[in-house]
Structure 1
């Protein structure tokens, strides 16, 4: 597309739209109809320029013009409790459900890596000796040692808040850094699985694997599932950079990026629940079977939420993206 010719052909329409917007409170009925038509045309022009001949200055001007026109045509809109309800019952579970082909394999492979690391460390004394001195290892794994004390040395409320913040940050990093071809996500995942494998191996070598699982599983099932969802979504975003499909790369990244942003908000809520379990249930005096039951029920509830509500929403046409009225205008793409 010859940008200079395109600008010369449509500049008058953009100037006219700008004029109508400046005097929007005094428009006649015919001028209102003209404003709507020019808004639609300018949105299409912006999409064409972005996909064919992006020019920062022209794109900025038209983006501002389209945003002003959209606000005038659609009116100001404020988030309401209806939006929150729709997000929790449709948008978020649908986004997680649609990403299941990424995060389920991620979960299975990561769990296998953690198990292999745990077996390797637990069955090879020479590996354990590289981690810490024998006295330090005994202090870590003995009854009442550092692994157990970790969950009870701080007040439950502050500990839960700290855990939630750390996990939410890790999930956000997976979602944000996924755009770099997913490579940073793999590193974050490996670090998490390495820490889990070390604990698994050290406690199993001390004959206290049951204690370790009783401490980790109540909150860890839901917590790790949230991390796996974030990691899978991040890697899907990275793959979009490589293969956007029939969409333009810009459009594909915009759609996947908006879904990832919504996923970050939803996963923060999921991690709040797992953080509360880790802060209040894991260090409690409840018997191990009771703590495990709470963790398993929380995990099953989340999976049911995703596969029942999310599956139903996807079959009804939900994409996990923001509402169509809040997206940038695009032109159709042929397969």
Structure 2
């Protein structure tokens, strides 16, 4: 394609579109509005032709700006409202969690099995315990009133909750962000967390105080770890999209799953906030162990019901967890 000839043939149309856009603050007539829409469609086609046949950066930049301005006038802009937030938390987020259940449920099962195996290995091998810390330090950590017990009351409840929430949100965010790197860093994050939990399980079991440890970790840990599993599962799914995007292009697959992952980061931040509040106010409280564990179990069951009941209904209704369709870019069909 001769670019100079193409520009000369359509320059007048682009100039007319720019003139109509400058005049849009004044009320356009019906004929002018129809003309603007037609010129917008033509210019969008021109942009596509230039991109595919004569990718001149300056012309592409000019036409992209012109098409974007025209699109905002023709289609209009949409402001986020409280209704959008309500839709996200009642449909989008639970649907996204439900859609990725085949990734994070197995992740949770493997993690739990690994923690149990490592914990048993640590508890049953004094040599492994000695490699973790000196005997005096181990006694200090596991004794009544030791480090494992005082950790949850080491700071004021509000400050401790904020600290825990920030840390867990970072872990979840890393799991989501690292997914694009084939998911390999996600596995490393999970392994680190499994080793940390297994170390506590093994050392407290060796001191014959596993019941105390579980009474401290279960109230908040059930919901907290579930949120981490969901984040890790989404990260692994995102990484798999790079390997096998299915009928979509890799860019399209990453775009769709990446947008859903960003939304899930917001939803999981709220879940982790609830977990942090439990860890800051319930775990170190004077409530009986059974009552603290019951609160944790209730929070976990509420989240699972939220995902598997509300989420399943949302998915059946066509919800995917992606942003609203008007906010997405138009996609070109591709052959499978």
Under a length normalisation based on structure 2, what TM-score does the superposition of the two structures give? Answer: 0.91
C-alpha displacement of 1:24: 2.2
* Matched-pair contact (CA < 8 Å) for 1:43–1:330: no
The residue matched to 2:323 in structure 1 has which SS?
Answer: coil
1:297 counterpart SS class: helix
Match of 1:304 in 2: 305
What is the aligned partner in structure 2 of residue 212 from structure 1? 213
Aligned-residue offset at 1:242: 1.4
Q: Which is worse superposed, 145-154 or 248-257? A: 248-257
1:89-108 correspondence runs (5 A): 89-108=90-109
Q: Which residue of 1 aligns with 2:132?
A: 131
Aligned pairs, number: 334
Cα distance in 2 between the residues matched to 1:155 and 1:49: 62
- The 3 A distance-change label for structure 1 pair 60 and 166 is farther
Measure how far apart 1:231 and its partner are.
0.5
Corresponding residue for 1:281? Answer: 282
Cα root mean square deviation, aligned: 2.5
CA deviation profile, 1:15-56 (whole Å, cap 9, x unmatched): 554443233234332332233344455556767888999876
Q: Which residue matches 1:69?
A: 70
Residues 78-157 of structure 1: pairs in structure 2 closer than 5 A: 78-157=79-158
C-alpha spacing 1:40/1:322, structure 2 compared with 1 (3 Å): farther
Distance (whole Å) between structure 1 residues aligned to residue 201 and residue 130 of structure 2:
15
Q: 100-109 vs 272-281, which deviates more?
A: 100-109
Residues 8-17 or 213-222, more deviating: 8-17
CA contact (8 A) 1:49 1:59 kept: yes
**What residue in structure 2 maps to residue 316 of structure 1?**
317
In 1: Cα distance, 2:53 partner to 2:103 partner = 31
Q: Distance in 2 between matches of 1:205 and 1:51?
A: 68
Is the 1:44–1:330 Cα contact (8 Å) retained in structure 2? Answer: no
Residues 138-193 of structure 1: CA deviation (Å, up to 9, x unaligned): 00100000000000111000000000010011111111111111111111111111
Q: Quote how far apart the aligned CAs of 1:70 are.
A: 2.9
| Alpha-carbon offset, residue 249 of structure 1 | 1.4
- Give yes or no for contact 1:47–1:331 (8 Å, CA) kept in 2: no
In structure 1, runs of 5+ residues without a counterpart are none
Q: Name the counterpart of 2:294.
A: 293
CA distance in 2, matches of 1:270, 1:51: 45
**Which residue is equivalent to 1:29?**
30
Deviation at 1:329, TM superposition (A): 1.7
SS class of match (2:180): coil
Query: What is the alpha-carbon distance in structure 2 between the residues aligned to residue 242 and residue 263 of structure 1?
Result: 22
- The equivalent of 1:264 in structure 2 is 265
Relative to structure 1, the CA distance from residue 65 to residue 119 in structure 2 (aligned partners, 3 Å threshold; closer, same or farther) is: farther
Matches within 5 A, 1:8-27: 12=11, 16-26=16-26, 27=28
Supply the distance in 2 between the matched residues of 1:252 and 1:213 (Cα, whole angstroms).
41
Cα shift at 1:79:
1.5
- Between 7-16 and 225-234, the greater mean CA deviation after superposition: 7-16
Secondary structure at the aligned position of 1:151 is classed as helix
Conservation of the 8 A alpha-carbon contact between 2:94 and 2:306: yes
CA distance 1:301–1:58, shift in 2 (3 Å): farther
Equivalents in 2 of 1:320, 1:210: separation in Å? 39
Summarize the Cα distance change of 1:35–1:278 in structure 2 as closer, same or farther, 3 Å threshold.
same
Stretch moving more, 289-298 or 6-15:
6-15
Deviating 4+ runs (over 4 angstroms) = 2-16, 40-63
Cα distance in 2, alignment partners of residues 190 and 6 from structure 1: 61
Q: 109-118 or 142-151: which moved more?
A: 109-118
Change in CA separation of 1:146 and 1:260 when aligned onto 2, cut-off 3 Å? same
